[in-house]
Amino acid sequence: MAKLRLFVEQSLAPGQSVSLTREQAHYLFGVMRLAEGAEILVFDGQNGEFAARIAEAGKRGGRLDIGARTRPLQAPPDLWLLFAPIKKARTDFIVEKAAEMGAARILPVQTEFTNSERIRRERLQAHAVEAAEQCGGTFIPEVCDLERLDRLLADWPAERRLMFCDEALVGARAALSGPPAPWAILIGPEGGFSGSERARLHAMEQAVAVSLGPRILRADTAVVAALALWQSLLGDW
């Protein structure tokens, strides 16, 4: 069975012919050393996963012939992840794990104590794609541009509940319950939420403050812990 998986932006169906980009051709033929006739798996984030055969292989491009669908689209729960960007490698880790663990949308936010004031959205989106390719996912979460937290909360959807991880609650036991969707998880910056941010979040009707255990976690660790907690209680695990 073919194991190499590739995301393509074109909507897929059996019998189609799909052209490869220069980057995809370099990966398949230059890095992975595949040749015409080799079989791979492809997915488009919309219609599931399909078998594909390499019909043409070149240095600057190529062509795939799409075969039967091997798996349907497995969409994640309606869950957003909001997080304050940190150092480059750890922000990359956050996006990768969010894609693997079933976040439907990833929103970097600028808080009062956020250390990083800019992101490269295209690069983070590429990390989400790579995570889905490698872990067998058929859905690609959207990575949004960086937005200020206060502005995002000002237009917060009334129907979307917000689980925010409050380091001030370390050691406390906070129950997490409610409808399975739609929800969002908010992870604060390395410096924590400011007093005004914490007060605003506690005042929101949709917000639920939770503790992630008896120890303060690093931001990237907190993302994994929070996603695991939510998925095990309210998600599709």
Mean pLDDT of the chain, nearest integer: 92
Distance CA 54, CA 36 (A): 5
Give residue 216's pLDDT.
Answer: 84
Q: How many CB atoms lie within 10 A of CB 26?
A: 16
Give residue 167's pLDDT.
Answer: 78
3-state secondary structure of 159: coil
Question: At residue 177, does pLDDT exceed 60?
Answer: yes
Give residue 100's pLDDT.
Answer: 96
Measured CA to CA in angstroms, residue 122 lies from 90, 92, 127, 146 at distances of: 16, 12, 9, 12
Measuring CA to CA, which residue among 144, 129, 142, 143 is closest to residue 43?
129
- Which one has a higher pLDDT value, 117 or 213? 213
Q: Where are the extended beta strands (E) located within 131-228?
A: 142-143, 147-148, 161-165, 183-187, 207-210
Chain-centre distance for alpha carbon 193: 23
3-state secondary structure of 177: coil
Give residue 46's pLDDT.
Answer: 95
Give residue 173's pLDDT.
Answer: 57
Give residue 81's pLDDT.
Answer: 98
- Tens-digit pLDDT profile for residues 52-107: 999 999 888 999 999 999 999 999 999 999 999 998 899 999 999 999 999 999 99
Q: What percent of the chain has pLDDT over 90?
A: 78
DSSP state of 21: P
Give residue 134's pLDDT.
Answer: 93
Domains of the chain plus CATH, in order, are 5-71 (2.40.240.20), 79-234 (3.40.1280.10)
What's the pLDDT band for 191 if we cut at 50, 70, 90? confident
In degrees and rounded to multiples of 5, residue 50 shows phi and psi of: -135, 150
pTM of the model: 0.90
- Tens-digit pLDDT profile for residues 111-137: 999 877 789 999 999 999 999 999 999
Question: At residue 1, does pLDDT exceed 70?
Answer: no
What's the pLDDT band for 176 if we cut at 50, 70, 90? confident
Q: Which of the residue ranges 85-99, 171-185, 191-205 would you say has the lowest mean pLDDT?
A: 171-185
